[in-house]
A and B are shown apart, each in its own frame.
Chain A
């Protein structure tokens, strides 16, 4: 599939005898919001590391933004954005310094960067906070800045690893507004979350169980398929059958 931003076929990763990712096959289309769900230890993190070019698969095929995960790791890293709850920004740098730093890493030319930084700070409404240390800002703001930084270089796809953990309900939704906005500009979103209502914000959702993809469809279709009212129900039915817990 030439049209896919992510394409995997029988992608497998083993650690010794342990099959962390077991022959997963799926495609993510441009501009799609793709929810990547699964219980703790189902293999999500491993799969995501492979797709980000941080880990080589044991077998199977995968391309991200058209680049091969076996050989073109560096190319992949240039064309994706990444944000996780754990590492996002340097707490001891100011907002402006953080944006400049990450912009520089992704090779945005100096002249262009200056304008981009100002535009971004404006859009986020952070003019008063631009020169404050990131560490002093509320968690919700940090996450918004982190997301903006992750898509500053206009990547084809951005990976979000539990981006909204612990945030209040309003900020969480403001964060999703930003995701919707990015997707409407054509950036593909690949997101993991433990909030099942967030799964319904996604165009399509895959649910991993024991290293394999147990279900993949639109939230509506999944709800119909499992005869339940919300994604919580879908998730519980699938994950309850899981054999391994890590």
Chain B
């Protein structure tokens, strides 16, 4: 059963001049951890706001847990948990006060649903008297998640919960989402970090209001595969410029210490490229064929969509 159903949603701003979402359709199954992956300005927040009944779409239909986002607004507001992209709790209230307040707003008490947040809450409990404004990024994010969970929502919307958070806190955060998923909560989460795609059941890649692809991470990569080479040498900037000038190069992007290269001739040109680079006398030159990762795939899809 679909927990979130989105059909042909289009949304514009500024009287139709700015297209935020362009005819988007997909569904999230009940109990699924679904990732919406794309850069800032892709339309992720707009989609979240439409699904949480904060905005009206220009056209198209959407439902959450069977309730229509237009007609059943109050039903949806009772059963969803929402964590907006910007930290949106009261900075001048303590952890404890924030949590109690939001519990009351949702007609419940912290005690009643403590089992849901316990695992997360114990991590910030030592600081429960501290004002939310004085917490670190990781702690704020945990508190915000507690507040979004306190009324035992059926569907959880998390808009860029890990943006600006360091890798350790990010990993911990995703571990928490895994445990929530195990409790049967449907989770729609957005992120600009491509590496987080591997933590989702399925993902949608979104760019400039359009869905580039929807599937499991593995399938998306598999479906968009092209021969890819990693090229590495000590003088990386010179190497990069030279690779880009090379006639057969289609794309060359920096990836960590390497450059990822796609050739116009695909496999056929590999030996020629190898010979070309060898003639340039780089020290420590390393060339190998590699499997693309999600970021390679996203770049490929982005370039295709812009053609």
Contacts and interface: CB of A to CB of B under 8 A. Distances in A.
Interface of A: 38-41, 138-140, 162, 165-171, 173, 176-177, 180-181, 183-184, 194-197, 200-201, 219-220, 230-232, 235-236, 239-240, 242, 245-246
A40 B139 CA distance: 10
Contact of A239 (B134, B167, B192): B167
Contacts of A181: 237
B272 interface: no
B40 A167 contact: yes
Given A231-B256, A239-B166, A240-B168, A170 B302 contact: yes
Contacts of A230: 256
Contacts of A40: 136-138, 164-166, 169
B207 A168 contact: yes
Contacts of B169: 39-40
A139 B39 CA distance: 10
B113 interface: no
Contacts of B171: 236
A141 to B, nearest CB: 11
A146 B41 CA distance: 18
B165 A168 contact: no
20 contacts: A39-B167, A40-B137, A40-B138, A40-B164, A140-B39, A162-B164, A165-B192, A167-B40, A168-B42, A168-B298, A169-B194, A169-B253, A176-B254, A177-B240, A180-B237, A180-B240, A181-B237, A201-B254, A231-B256, A242-B168
A245 B302 contact: no
B257 interface: yes
A21 B118 CA distance: 33
Contacts of A165: 163-164, 192
Interface string B282-296: 000000000000010
Interface residues of B, number: 38
A236 B257 CA distance: 18
B166 A166 contact: no
Query: Residue among A162, A181, A194 with the most chain B CB within 10 A?
Result: A194
A245 B169 CA distance: 10
Given A168-B42, A173-B253, A184-B237, 18 more contacts: A38-B166, A39-B138, A41-B136, A41-B137, A139-B41, A162-B164, A165-B163, A165-B192, A166-B40, A167-B40, A169-B39, A194-B167, A197-B255, A200-B257, A201-B254, A220-B257, A239-B167, A246-B139
A229 B295 CA distance: 18
Q: Which 6 A-B pairs have the closest CB atoms?
A: A246-B136, A168-B39, A200-B256, A166-B40, A39-B166, A40-B137
Contacts of B139: 245-246
Contacts of B256: 197, 200-201, 219, 230-231
B303 interface: yes
Interface string B58-85: 0000000000000000000000000000
Given A39-B169, A183-B237, A194 B164 contact: yes
Given A40-B169, A231-B256, A235-B168, A169 B240 contact: no
B299 interface: yes
B283 to A, nearest CB: 13
B12 to A, nearest CB: 15
Contacts of A162: 164
A162 B237 CA distance: 21
B253 A170 contact: yes
A171 B194 CA distance: 14
A169 B295 contact: yes
B141 to A, nearest CB: 10
A200 B232 CA distance: 12
Contacts of B295: 169
Contacts of A167: 39-40, 192
B43 to A, nearest CB: 12
Contacts of B39: 139-140, 166-169, 171
Contact of A139 (B40, B255, B302, B303): B40
Contacts of A196: 167
A231 B303 CA distance: 27
A206 B169 CA distance: 19
B158 to A, nearest CB: 16
B135 interface: yes
A135 to B, nearest CB: 12
Nearest to B123: A245
